[in-house]
Amino acid sequence: MTDSTHSSASSAASSAADVVDDVAGGRGSGEADARDEAGGVDEAGGVDEAGGVDEAGGHRGDGAGRRFGSAALALAAVVGLLLGLAGGLLVPRLTLPGDDSAEAGFARDMIFHHAQAVEMALIGFQRGNDPAVRQIAVDIATAQQGEMGMMHAWLREWGLDPTGSGPAMAWMPADMRDLGSDGLMPGMASAEEMTRLREAKGNELDVLFLQLMLRHHIGGVHMLDAILAEGGRGEVVRAAETMKGVQSTELTNLTRLLTRLGGKPLPAD
């Protein structure tokens, strides 16, 4: 707990003690006026001196009992208030992902992974030859750019930098940490492959784009499976499930287009 949080809680606790003392000691609002000097009430139907039932049928009460009941109620209310205060101050901080959490690692790595997919998709959209290739390229670019914005927002909300100090994919379970031979995350194109894509034209560009994006998506789904296996915050899990559904559908469409254009998937890393 921070010093400011501790100070706020202490101040609230002190105020709460004053409230309980006031009620238990008979200093609560209106208590003195509710009883006359003999401890009874008027003829309208309150409690009489002996604590009996008056002529109007009111139930007899005991002053000490009422004071005890009021104090207990005040104490319960104050305890509830303090618990709510503590919950509001502590729970969000304790449950926010840390710098080395799976959620933070996933967001950072997937932002980087998505950035390459967006670059490839923009090439496919701007210079692709087949209309279907250009359409799927713009769909991918639009979807993944939006997802990048969402993941950047998570990191800002969690108070974390967009880049971490740990290596890529360190957040993943050890048996799923599948970096390529060149150190790239799953499915990512090498620098040489990106150069070839930028220089390609016509049908060659369409086929190469589909091949690279197909492999890229397979790697992306692998990363999504890893964060889903890890679990974590609800918004991260829900987003990962949505991304996996979208990319699985795109994998089917990419494969169909590649087959139609006479191409074959690239070998697995």
Residue-wise pLDDT tens digits, 181-211: 577 899 999 999 999 999 999 999 999 999 9
pLDDT band of residue 62 (cuts 50, 70, 90) is: low
pLDDT at 90 over 50: no
User: Domain 102-260 is of which CATH architecture?
Assistant: Up-down Bundle (1.20)
Q: What is the CA radius of gyration of the chain?
A: 33
DSSP labels, 1-38: --HHHHHHHHHHHHHHHHHHHHHHTT-STTHHHHS-TT
Tokens of 70: 């009021």
Compute the average pLDDT of residues 61-89: 50
Compute the average pLDDT of residues 81-104: 64
pLDDT of residue 231: 84
pLDDT of residue 131: 98
pLDDT at 46 over 60: no
Q: How far apart are CA 262 and CA 203, in angstroms?
A: 10
pLDDT at 141 over 60: yes
Q: For 253, list phi and psi in degrees, rounded to 5.
A: -70, -40
pLDDT at 29 over 90: no
Evaluate the CA torsion angle 95, 97, 236, 228 in order and state its sign. Answer: negative
Q: For 50, list phi and psi in degrees, rounded to 5.
A: -80, -5
How is the chain split into domains, by residue range? 3-95, 102-260
Q: How far apart are CA 21 and CA 78, in angstroms?
A: 12
DSSP labels, 218-229: HHHHHHHHHHHH
Min mean pLDDT across 2-6, 74-78, 104-108, 141-145 is at 2-6
pLDDT band of residue 63 (cuts 50, 70, 90) is: low
Q: Is the pTM of this model over 0.75?
A: no
Compute the average pLDDT of residues 122-135: 98
Q: How far apart are CA 4 and CA 25, in angstroms?
A: 32
| Residues facing residue 53 across a β-bridge | 47
Cα of 6 vs its chain's centroid, Å: 26
pLDDT of residue 196: 98
